[in-house]
Amino acid sequence: MNKRWRNAGLYALMVVILIFLATTVLDRQPQTTASWPYSQFIDKVEAGQVEKVNISADRSRAQVMTGDGQRVLVNLPPDPQLLNTLQTNSVDIAVSPTTEDSPWVRVLSTLLIPFLLLVVLFFVLRRAQSGPGSQAMNFGKSRARVQMEPQTQITFGDVAGIEQAKLELAEVVDFLKNADRFTAVGAKIPKGVLLVGPPGTGKTLLAKAVAGEAGVPFFSISGSEFVEMFVGVGASRVRDLFEQAKANAPCIVFIDEIDAVGRQRGAGLGGGNDEREQTLNQLLTEMDGFEGNTGIIIIAATNRPDVLDAALLRPGRFDRQVVVDRPDYAGRLEILNVHARGKTLSQDVDLEKIARRTPGFTGADLANLLNEAAILAARRNLTEVSMDEVNDAIDRVMAGPEKKDRVMSEKRKSLVAFHEAGHALVGALMPDYDPVQKISIIPRGQAGGLTWFTPSEDRMDSGLYSRSYLQNQMAVALGGRIAEELIFGEEEVTTGASNDLQQVARVARQMVTRFGMSDRLGPVALGRAQGGMFLGRDIMAERDFSEETAAAIDDEVRNLVDQAYRRAKSVLMENRSVLDTLAAMLVERETVDSEELQDLLATSDVKMATIA
C-alpha cells in the first residue's frame, strides 16, 4: 500500500476514535437495570419495598432504589397525590436540581462532530491529491506508462513472420541510435508509424520489441484511456502526455488501439462525440501543429484503419503505414520455431507440416495452437507433445472440441457419414480445387461432422480466385445435400446443409454483383458494397440498379446454383460405389485422412468432374 494512503488511513482512524469518545461523554446517561410501569411503582411503594426516589427536575422521570439496592427507572404521569403517597409510606424523596449548561458547552456539543468530520475530509483529500502515483482528482493527467529504460525482455529476435514490418521499425530504432548516418544525407526521422493489420498478427509485440531495442524513454498508452465522461479530460491528457514526452525527448510514444480516439470526425447519426473529437483535435495539434514535436516518434496500432480520420493519416503525422498481415508459410514456420522454444516436443513433431496445415493463422493463433497441444499432452499424462496432440489441437482451434460423449444412433451416424463423404468426394474430383485434408463425423462445436480442405497458399496470399474455382466451391458445398438425396431420398433430407446453402447463395451473388462473372449482365459491379460510416457497413448496402436488373440478378444467381447442383450430382451418381465405400469407412473409423482417401481413389474406377 502507498505510504501516503496508509498515513491518511491512520489519521482517519484516530479522528473516528475521538468522535466516538466525544459522543460517549456528551450523550452519556445514568444506566439503570430495569424499568417499572407507574402502577407497579405505586404497588411497590405501598408494599414498603421502595427505599428512596430521586425525581427529575421536570418531574417526568424518577430513579427508584429498592430495599435490596436495585435501581429502577419510572416514567411519572402528572399525579398530584404522588408526594403524599411517598410520604405516607416513609420513602426518602430527592429532587434533582435544574442544571443550565454553559454557552461554551452547548457550542462544543453542537459543532464538535461536524468539525471532526471536516478534519477527516481534509486529511483524506490532502493525502489523496499528494504523491506522483495518485489518480484521485487528477483526471487531466496522462495515464501513460513510462519506462525510462525499457525492460520488456522482447527484442526483434522474438518477432518472426513479419519481416517487412520489422524492417520498417528497425530503421526507426537505428535512426535513434545512429542519427548522424541519416542526417548526413538529409534524411529526417519519421514522426509517426501506424501499424495496421488483423487482430493477433503481432502489432503490440512489435511495439514491445521497439521498446526493448531502442534504449530511449518509452511511453505506452491505450487510445481508450484518453476518453472520459468529463468534457475536456481527453485533450488535457493528450497535452500532459506530450509535455512529458518533450521533457524526455528523444523518446517513443506507443498508442495502442488508436481507433478508439482517432475515428473520423462528424460521422454517424446526430454528429460525433464532442469529447472524442476534442481529444482528436488536440492529438492532431500535438503530433504536427504550430510548435511541432521534435524528437518524439509516435507508434500507433489499429485493426480498423478505415475509420480513422484523414487528417490523422497524412504524412507529417503518420509518415509510414506498415501493414502487419497474416504470415505466409515461411512466416508461420518461423513463428512456430519461436513459440516452440519453451515446449518439450517429441521427435515426430514436424513444424513444416504444421505450418502447411495452418494457412490463414496469425501469430497469436499459432501460439495458442502450441499451447493447446501442450495442455492436451498434460491432460493425457504425457511428458512430451507429440504430433497427435498437435493435430488434435489444430482441429480444436478450427472447429471446437470433440463431443465424443454424444450418443449417435446408427441412422444418424450413417446420414452424417454420407453427407461428409459427399463433400469430400466432390471436392477430390473437381479440377483445380483444394485437396481434402481430413474427413470426420465426430461432432465438433455446432457441426455434426466436418470435412477439412487445405487452401492454396498462392490463392490465399494473393486473394485472387478464378471463376472455375468459385464454381467448384459451390459444387463442393452442395455435395453433402445431394448425397443425402441420393441415398435417403428427397423426403429424408435434413437441415444439416443450411450453412452450405448460405455459402452457395453468397458466392453466387458475389459472382454476379461484385466480380462481374455473369454472361448475361457482363463485367458490371452492381450495388454499393459499403454504406455510411458507422451505420453498419455490411447491412446498409445501397441499391443502384432497377427492378428489372434485380430480377436479372436473381435469375443469374439461380442459374449458377443450378449449374453447380447438376455438376455435383453428376459426380456423385457416376461414382456411387466410391461414395458408399467412403461412407462405410467413416462409419467404421469416424475419421479418414487425406492419405486414406487418396488410396481409395487410386484403387477405384473414378470419373473426374467436367469443367464448368
Please report where in the chains the cell 489518480 appears, as a residue.
Answer: 135
Catalytic residue status for 420 = yes
Which DSSP string do the residues of 451-512 spell out, in sequence order? Answer: EEE---HHHHHH----HHHHHHHHHHHHHHHHHHHHHH-GGG--GGGHHHHHHHHHHHHHHH
Q: Return d(Cα 71, Cα 64) in angstroms, integer.
A: 6
Which DSSP string do the residues of 487-504 spell out, in sequence order? Answer: HH-GGG--GGGHHHHHHH
Q: Return d(Cα 302, Cα 187) in angstroms, integer.
A: 27
Q: Return the biggest CA–CA distance within the chain.
A: 132
For the chain, what's the residue count?
612
| β-bridge mates for residue 254, sequence order | 220, 299
Set of cell numbers at residue 332: 508461420
Q: Is 465 left (phi over 0), alpha (psi -120 to 50) or beta?
A: beta
Residues 102/62, Cβ–Cβ less than 8 Å? no
Closest CA to 353 of 323, 309, 390, 395: 390
Residues 383/346, Cβ–Cβ less than 8 Å? no
Q: Return d(Cα 50, Cα 247) in angstroms, integer.
A: 87
Residues 369/376, Cβ–Cβ less than 8 Å? no
The 8-class DSSP code of residue 13 comes to H
Which DSSP string do the residues of 308-347 spell out, in sequence order? Answer: B-HHHHSTTT--EEEE-----HHHHHHHHHHHTTTS-B-T
Residues 308/259, Cβ–Cβ less than 8 Å? yes
Can you say how many angstroms the Cα of residue 439 is from the centroid of all Cα atoms in its chain? 33
Closest CA to 372 of 388, 350, 348, 351: 388
Q: How many CB atoms lie within 10 A of CB 186?
A: 6
Q: Return d(Cα 7, Cα 20) in angstroms, integer.
A: 20
Element (H, E) at 146: strand 145-147
Catalytic residue among 213, 225, 334, 420: 420
Which amino acid, one-letter code, is at 52?
K
| β-bridge mates for residue 299, sequence order | 193, 254
53 CB burial (10 A radius; 0-12, 13-18, 19+): buried
The angle at the Cα of 463, spanning 458 to 465, to the nearest 5 degrees, equals 85
> Residue 402: helix, strand or coil by DSSP?
strand
List the catalytic residues: 420
